[in-house]
Structure 1
Amino acid sequence: MIPNGIAPVDQLWRAIRRETERVRASDPVFGASLSATILNHANFGSAVSHQIGEQLGKSPADRRRFGCLAREAFAASPDLIDAASRDLQSIAVHDPATTALLPPLLNFKGYVALQAWRVSNWLWRERRSDLALLLQSLSSDQLQISIHPTASIGTSVFLDHATGIIIGAFAVIGDEVTILQNVTIGRKHSAPDRAPKIGRGVLLSAGSSILGNVSVGDFAKVGAGALVEHDVPAGCTAVGVPARLTNCPEQVSV
């Protein structure tokens, strides 16, 4: 674990390799599999690419193909590697179930799905839309997480217990957002400007739905099972169906 904030990618990679060596020494059975996943890779981007290929590919050839595709994206756009680093470190900081870096990298499908989306978004911006949509489809099939390539997602984002998450076209999600299982973020109409906008530090609890041209302000919370079809001001909590506001800062009129 790296204390005190977000570390550079190279420092993160050294920390992951140290964790890997400790695990290999303490558990030879599990450790035997760590060469292919971690130790055989020269850098963090290569290791993440391997995980994307392993999780999305249905055959050895597909796994190699999608791993190579992720490496291509990371080489062309190094900011994707920085985003992947921030996402991983955010999990280690905020998830009470783990304080290490290796378990979420290897075992948290929400983390892999988010990095696969980053590759699909890059493909979309490169006008390779068919391949971008293929990655979305594979993520939906293999990982039960569907994120449209046209969505916009910040960094230090955590998809927790990630099953049944749908993030639709043109949705905007800020930094440091946590999204739990069975959350839907989608449009009511076809226009791009009708998609939800989720601010920084927002918590979207299990089973919640945020639909239409709505904004959820910074550090707001959406309760489990809530249906949000109107704006949620910064710092407020939205609960119920339809959602009502509670626990708002004093300056916000509920």
Structure 2
Amino acid sequence: MNSIDLEAHWTELRERAEQIVAQEPVLQILLNETVLDRSSFAECLTYRITRKLVNHGASIEVLHNVFMEAFENSPSILEQVACDMIAANERDPACPDVLTPLLYFKGFQALVCYRISHYLWKVARRDFALYLQSLIAETFSVDIHPAAEISCGILLDHATGFVAGETAVIEHDVSILHEVTLGGTGKERGDRHPKVRSGVLLGAGAKILGNVEIGEGSKVGAGSVVLKDVPPHVSVAGVPAKIIGKMKVPNPAHDMRH
């Protein structure tokens, strides 16, 4: 992950919020509560995301404290989140700026929540991590086990129906469309979920099952079912998926030709 200037990122978010309020005054309450009345990027994220989750029964005070604790004790989460915001802005043609994912994109919002649940899992607060996972699923229709390992620069586009199991790994700079499953193949235990390497593009509805590897810079076509390893820098498609060609670009996650 390239180093991100969080102060500059926070300044850009505030400037964009001020522009939106000037253009669309009816959104002033939302922008004040989310951005302009907040004192930091961490507080901004906390206010926006916890208020999405609280509609499903969690205490707003408890969620607020947990989010702020995670950001304070693990500052790298903020860099990961900023990296995800930039990825959405750079790769999604429907995203006009870095603030939009925070305000409106449930894929990004679900990733923020996952990062908090992953922090809780690592500090041995596993019951609360699983509780947060259930809230994420109910709120965003995204089900990511808190033990899954997800790097940054992730675009979770549309997001509805995305599933990642307990031992799934997603490296940096990966783009994922809706209804993608990174799942197991049965009731086996241990290391049983896919490993997605950097630069990969996973098309809508792709199902990747078992402890298989999707090689760096590869692309999985929409609706494909992957049951075995995919080499780096190839395109696969079909049920079951087969290699249909070599990639002409080094990073299909950025190219987004799915």
Verify same fold: TM over 0.5.
Answer: yes
Q: CA RMSD in A?
A: 1.7
1:190 aligns with: 188
Kept after mapping to 2: 8 A contact 1:201/1:218: yes
Q: What is the CA deviation profile of residues 96-147 of structure 1, one whole-angstrom value per residue up to 9, with x for unaligned ones?
A: 1123112111100111110111110110111111000001001101110000
188, 198, 201: which one aligns with 2:199: 201
Per-residue deviation, 1:46: 1.1
Kept after mapping to 1: 8 A contact 2:178/2:204: yes
2:212 aligns with: 214
110, 120, 124: which one aligns with 1:127: 124
Aligned length, in residue pairs: 246
2:252 aligns with: none
1:74 aligns with: 71
Kept after mapping to 1: 8 A contact 2:129/2:146: yes
Structure-to-structure mapping, 1:80-99, within 5 angstroms: 80-99=77-96
The percent of aligned pairs where both chains have the same amino acid is 38
1:237 counterpart SS class: strand
The alignment status of 1:20 with 2:32, answered yes or no, reads no
2:41 aligns with: 44
Kept after mapping to 2: 8 A contact 1:51/1:67: no
Unaligned 5+ runs, structure 2: 249-258
Whole-Å separation in 2 of the counterparts to 1:131 and 1:160:
27
1:247 counterpart SS class: strand
Whole-Å separation in 2 of the counterparts to 1:237 and 1:119:
33
Q: Match for 2:31: what amino acid?
A: L
The alignment status of 1:35 with 2:32, answered yes or no, reads yes
156, 162, 175: which one aligns with 1:159: 156
The alignment status of 1:179 with 2:176, answered yes or no, reads yes
Unaligned 5+ runs, structure 1: none
2:163 counterpart SS class: strand
Per-residue deviation, 1:6: 6.8
Whole-Å separation in 1 of the counterparts to 2:229 and 2:174:
17
Give the structure-1-normalised TM-score: 0.92
Whole-Å separation in 1 of the counterparts to 2:9 and 2:47:
17
